[in-house]
């Protein structure tokens, strides 16, 4: 059942969530026709898909952003105590 219209969808929302996780974790990037059709018809899943796309894009960008040295030093101090680096 489609949660917003009460109609039976070709792909149900649960399967769409599984597909979104597969895409978000590096699975097949191309959307299957049935998934695209569901996203076109289901505002809730469409919003969730856009959220996953944004999260993946931000995560990829973060992987390529160097952490400033002062942030690393601060993290060392917070995590290991000043001057005590576990060694």
Residue appearing with tokens 């952003």 = 65
Residue 60 has pLDDT above 50, yes or no: yes
The one-character DSSP state at 49 is H
* Percent above pLDDT 90 for the chain: 2
Q: Domain coordinates of the chain in residue numbers? A: 13-80
Q: Quick one: pLDDT at residue 29?
A: 52
- Helix count (H) and strand count (E) of the chain? 4, 0
Q: How far apart are CA 40 and CA 24, in angstroms?
A: 19
Q: How far apart are CA 25 and CA 28, in angstroms?
A: 9
Residue 47 has pLDDT above 80, yes or no: yes
Q: How far apart are CA 40 and CA 34, in angstroms?
A: 10
Residue 42 has pLDDT above 80, yes or no: yes
- Work out the pLDDT band at 8, boundaries 50, 70, 90: very low
pTM value? 0.47
């Amino acid at each position: 059942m489609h949660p917003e219209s009460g109609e039976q969808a070709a792909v149900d929302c649960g399967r769409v969530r599984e597909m979104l996780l597969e895409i978000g974790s590096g699975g097949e990037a191309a959307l299957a026709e049935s998934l695209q059709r569901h996203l076109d018809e289901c505002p809730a899943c469409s919003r969730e898909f856009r959220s996953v796309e944004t999260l993946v894009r931000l995560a990829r960008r973060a992987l390529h952003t160097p952490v400033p040295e002062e942030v690393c030093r601060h993290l060392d101090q917070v995590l290991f105590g000043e001057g005590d680096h576990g060694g």
